[in-house]
Chains A and B, each alone.
Chain A
Amino acid sequence: MTWLLRRVGWAVFVVWAVVSLAFVVNNLVPGDPARMVAGVQARPADVARIREQLGLGAPPLVQYARFWRRLVHVGPRDVAKGDPVHSSCGVVIALGHEALHVDLGRSYQLGQPVVDVVATRLPRTFALALAGLLLQLLFGVATGALAASRRGSWIDRWVVGTSVLGVSAPTFLIALVLQIIFAQTLRWLPLDGFGKTFADHARCLVLPALTLGVYGAAYYTRLTRDELSVLLQQDWIRTARAKGLPPRGVLRHALRAALVPLVTSAGLDFGALMGGAVVTEQVFRWPGLGQLAVTAMLNRDGPLILASVVVSSVAIVASSVAVDALQLRLDPRTRARS
C-alpha cells in the first residue's frame, strides 16, 4: 500500500515536471501566437489587442501560476451562460452546490474551450489505440507462439526474418502501402478521414488500426517467440510433457508464464499510443489527439499544446503505474521484492 502511494506520488511529480517543462519550452519557441491568430497583414494595434485578449500580456510566471490555479478548481455546479470566469471549464464531479472544474483555457485558434476539444478527441484516440494494440497482440502472439513451438524449423526462420523486416518499415510507409492496396486498388475502405456516422467511423478506423497492428506485430512476435523459447526449455514444462500433457496444454502453461513481459510491453505501448499516434493519425487524417498536437504546435496554440502534453504525460505515467501494479498481481515472485 505504501508502495502504491509512493508510486502515485512520484507519478504526480513527473506529470508536474513534464507540464512545467512544456510550459517553459512553449514560451521559448519563437513565433507570436497573437500574430498567428490575427494574420500576417494585421495592424500592430490589432495584434496587441488580441495578445491582451488571449492573456499573453502577463509575464510568463503569472501565466504559469494562472494555468495551475485554473487546471483543477471548485466552482458553481451549473455554469451560467455568460460567466466569464468559468466559460472554458469542464465540470467533472458535482459536490452539492459546488462542483470540481477542470479548465485548460481556450484554444487561440479554435476559440473553443480546450476541455471540450480534448473531450471530443480523446475517445477517437482511445479507439485507435485500443484497436491497434489488439491487432498487434493478436498477430504477434499467434505468430510468436507458432515460431516458438516449432523452434529451428523453416516456419521459425521465416517468422524471425519477416519480423526483422516488419520492425524496419516506418508507419507512414506501411500506411501508404495499405492505402494503395485497400483504398485505391480494391476500393474496400476509405482512404482517410473520420466520416459522419458510426458505421463510417468504424470503416475509417480499419486502415489506421491495421497500420499500427502491422507495425507493432513484429515486435510482439519476437517478444513472444523469445520468451516462449526460453520457457519451453524449463524443467516444469518437461515434467508437464512427461506426464502426457498435449502440446496445446503445454503452450498454454508457457503462455501464462510469458504473460508478465507481454502485459508490461502492451501496457506501456498503450500509454504511449494514448498520447496520440502522431504519424498514423496525420497520414489518415484521423482527428485524434496526435493530430491535434501537431496542428497545435504548428499554430503555436499554447493552451492546446499544454493540454496535449497533460494528456500524453498522464497516459504514459498512469500506464507505467498500472503495469507495475499488474506485475505484482501476475507474478508472485515480484511481491516479495516490493
Chain B
Amino acid sequence: MRGARARARFASNRTAVAGGVVIGLLVLFALLGPALAAHDATTSDFVHGVAPRTGLPAGPSATFPLGADRLFRDQLARLAAGARLSLAIALGATLLSTLLGAAVGITSGWLEGRQTRVAWPAVVGAIAGAVTALSGWPRAGLALAAAGVLLSLVTRLPGPRLDVDALLMRFVDVMLAFPFLLLVMALGAAVERSSAAAILLTLGFTGWLGTARLLRAKTMQVRAADYVVASRALGQPTARVLLEHVLPNVAGTLVVTASLQVAQMIVADSVLSYLGLGIAPPTPTWGRMLFEGQDYYASAPWLVAAPGAAIVVSVWGFNMLGEGLRDALDPHQA
C-alpha cells in the first residue's frame, strides 16, 4: 500500500521522472555506445582524424560524430568508454559506501546510549587489524578485523562492555577531519594504483561517513517508535526487530542518500581523473578527457564540451532522481 502511494507520488513528480529518463539514456549509451562507435577508443587515426589544413584534431563529421581528440582518437568512442567506467565506478562505490554507512549507522543508532558486551575476538581483531593495516599490510588487517567480528557474531564469547556507538562515531569524526586527497593516495598505494577497482574502493571507503551519521539519527528515531518498543517487549530477537522493523523504515532515507551519492561519486571520480590521480591514460575517463581537452577549447571546443556535458548531465540526472525519491519516500522532508 505504502509502495503504491510512493510510486504514484514519484510518477507525478516531473523532476524525478526526468532524472530517471536521463539515467536510462545514460545507461543505454554506456551499454551500446562502444559497440555503435565505428572506431576504437584508444587508436589514433592520422588520416581522418586530422583537419587537412591546420593539422589540428578534426571536428565533428560523419566519421567522427563528436570530432577527434588531440591524439586523433574518436571522441564518441572515448566518451562511451568513459561512460562505462564512470557509471560502473560510481555505482560500485555507492553500493560499497551505502552498505558500510548503513551497517555502521544502524549499529550505532541502535546501540546509542548504552554499554554493549563485545566479544573478545571482535575487540582483539579490530585492534590487531588496525595495527596490521597501519604497519603496511592493509588487506591482512582488514581480514583480521573481519574475522574477529564474524567469529564473535556466530559464537557467544565473553568480552568487555563498551559504548560501541561512541567509539564508532568518534572514528567517523576523525575520518571526517582527515584530508580526502591524502586518503586517496594512501588507499591508492594500498591497492594497486590507478586501476578502476582502486578508484572504486577508494571512493567507497571514503564516502560512507555522511550516510552513517544520517542513518544513525534515523535509526534512533525509529528505535523510539512504539511499534519497535512493543516488538522488543514481546521478546522478539534483536536481529528480527532490526530486519523487520528498523531496516524497512530507514530504507527510504537510504535509497535517497544512495542516489544522491551516485552523483557525488561521478564528480569525485572526475575530479581525481582531472587532478591526474585517477585511472592512468590511455584509458578514457571523462575527467581526464576534460583535462586534456581544455588547452584546445578555442580551436577544438568539442573536446571540452562533450566530456563537460556528459559529467553535468549524468550528475544532474542522479541528483534529480534523488530529489524525486525524497519527495516520494519521505513526505515529511518535502
Contacts and interface: CB of A to CB of B under 8 A. Distances in A.
Interface stretch (B26-34, B45-53, B149-157, B175-183): B175-183
Interface in A241-274: none
A278 B319 CA distance: 23
Given A164-B15, A173-B312, A275 B136 contact: no
Contacts of B320: 164
Given A24-B134, A29-B186, A29-B189, A313 B312 contact: no
Nearest to B171: A17
In this complex, the interface size class of chain A, counting residues with CB under 8 Å from chain B, is 35 or more
Interface in B157-210: 173-174, 176-179, 181-183, 185-186, 189-190
A119 B297 CA distance: 36
Contacts of A26: 182
A170 B311 CA distance: 8
B290 A168 contact: no
A18 B274 contact: no
Interface stretch (B82-90, B110-118, B247-255, B263-271): B263-271
Interface string B213-224: 000000000000
Contact of A176 (B176, B297, B319, B323): B297
Nearest to B183: A25
A173 B308 contact: yes
Given A14-B174, A170-B271, A165 B179 contact: no
B177 A297 contact: no
Contacts of A21: 134, 174, 178
Interface in B275-327: 275, 290, 294, 297-298, 304, 308, 311-312, 315-316, 319-320, 323
Interface in A122-159: none
Contacts, number: 99
Nearest to A300: B185
Contacts of A10: 173
A252 B271 CA distance: 39
A313 B177 contact: yes
B319 A168 contact: yes
A217 interface: no
Contacts of A67: none
B181 A170 contact: no
A164 B290 contact: no
Contacts of A1: none
Contacts of A17: 174
A313 B175 CA distance: 10
Contacts of B274: 170, 172, 279
A59 interface: no
Given A170-B267, A279-B271, A293 B298 contact: no
Interface string A300-338: 000001001100110011000000000000000000000
Contact of A278 (B181, B186, B315, B323): B181
A170 B185 contact: no
A29 B271 contact: no
A228 interface: no
Contact of B323 (A18, A164, A180, A282): A164
A184 B308 CA distance: 18
A268 B297 CA distance: 35
A307 B181 CA distance: 14
Contact of A168 (B173, B178, B316): B316
A104 interface: no
A25 B290 contact: no
Contacts of A168: 263, 312, 315-316, 319
A10 B177 CA distance: 13
A169 B182 CA distance: 24
Contacts of A206: none
Contacts of A180: 297
Interface of B: 15, 134, 136, 173-174, 176-179, 181-183, 185-186, 189-190, 263, 267, 270-271, 274-275, 290, 294, 297-298, 304, 308, 311-312, 315-316, 319-320, 323
Interface of A: 10, 14-15, 17-18, 21-22, 24-26, 28-30, 161, 164-165, 167-173, 176, 180, 184, 275, 278-279, 282, 293-294, 297, 305, 308-309, 312-313, 316-317
20 contacts: A21-B134, A21-B174, A25-B186, A28-B189, A29-B189, A168-B312, A169-B312, A169-B315, A170-B270, A170-B311, A173-B311, A176-B294, A176-B297, A184-B298, A279-B274, A312-B179, A313-B177, A313-B178, A313-B179, A317-B177
Given A18-B174, A21-B134, A275-B179, 8 more contacts: A18-B177, A21-B174, A22-B179, A22-B182, A168-B316, A170-B274, A297-B181, A308-B179
